[in-house]
Chains A and B, each alone.
Chain A
Amino acid sequence: AQSVTQLDSHVSVSEGTPVLLRCNYSSSYSPSLFWYVQHPNKGLQLLLKYTSAATLVKGINGFEAEFKKSETSFHLTKPSAHMSDAAEYFCVVSGSSGGYNKLIFGAGTRLAVHP
């Protein structure tokens, strides 16, 4: 079975400093992994995805994530935080249940960005 664990429920950074949001996954086969972002009072939006091509994946708004199979991790990073990055971020793994492909969401990490 597939599962995903986001290691921090809250992360707080200062504007202009790096962002690291941590995600570990468990999968019995080579997974597809995704990060979604949810801004306040909005729906979720796909930030980036890994589907077994390049292990370093670039997404929107300067975010990127690196797939590390040996560590079963897919951490999200950004070199320099902006105030507009304040949001909740979800790590997501694709799974299979009874032949149906589904997305399994982590519990989320709330990112706060301070001036």
Chain B
Amino acid sequence: EAQVTQNPRYLITVTGKKLTVTCSQNMNHEYMSWYRQDPGLGLRQIYYSMNVEVTDKGDVPEGYKVSRKEKRNFPLILESPSPNQTSLYFCASSQSGIANTGELFFGEGSRLTVL
């Protein structure tokens, strides 16, 4: 089954404790992206990757890191989480040309709470 898998789905942590949210897709997609969803703000892009070893900042990259060492994986790293990073996070992937096709495939989300 074609899917984007995120882990963990739920996490409560404390300020400053490094964490990683993993994302893996099995569709051989070139493009992958991380979003955060906050009430009233829709989805905002954190980082994206056009292909292996190619990553770039989205609209809200502060406090986050990513890497793309393999095509299927795109982990999101919070080196020193703060309470303002409490949010619902989504990983998404697309074959290419998202501007025209618009078809992003989303994971089911990771709800992070930073105390």
A115 lies within 8 A of chain B by Cβ: no
| B residues with CB within 8 A of A | 4, 35, 40-45, 48, 50, 56, 58, 90, 92, 97-104, 106-109
In the complex, the answer to whether A42 meets B102 with C-beta atoms within 8 Å is no
Give B105's nearest chain A residue, CB to CB: A43
In the complex, the answer to whether B102 meets A102 with C-beta atoms within 8 Å is no
A49 lies within 8 A of chain B by Cβ: yes
Our pick among A44, A94, A101 for the contact of B90 (Cβ within 8 Å) is A44
| A residues with CB within 8 A of B | 9, 32, 34, 41-46, 49, 51, 90, 92, 94-96, 100-103, 105-108
Q: In whole angstroms, what is the CA distance A101 to B102 when docked?
A: 10
In the complex, the answer to whether A101 meets B98 with C-beta atoms within 8 Å is yes
In the complex, the answer to whether A9 meets B40 with C-beta atoms within 8 Å is yes
Q: In whole angstroms, what is the CA distance A106 to B40 when docked?
A: 9
Give A95's nearest chain B residue, CB to CB: B99
In the complex, the answer to whether A108 meets B100 with C-beta atoms within 8 Å is no
Give the chain A neighbours of B44 by CB distance below 8 A.
Answer: 105
Give A110's nearest chain B residue, CB to CB: B39
Our pick among B100, B108, B109 for the contact of A51 (Cβ within 8 Å) is B100
23 pairs, A vs B, C-beta closer than 8 Å: A9-B40, A32-B99, A42-B109, A43-B90, A43-B92, A43-B107, A43-B108, A43-B109, A44-B90, A44-B104, A44-B106, A46-B104, A49-B103, A90-B42, A92-B102, A94-B100, A96-B99, A100-B50, A101-B98, A102-B45, A102-B48, A106-B42, A107-B40
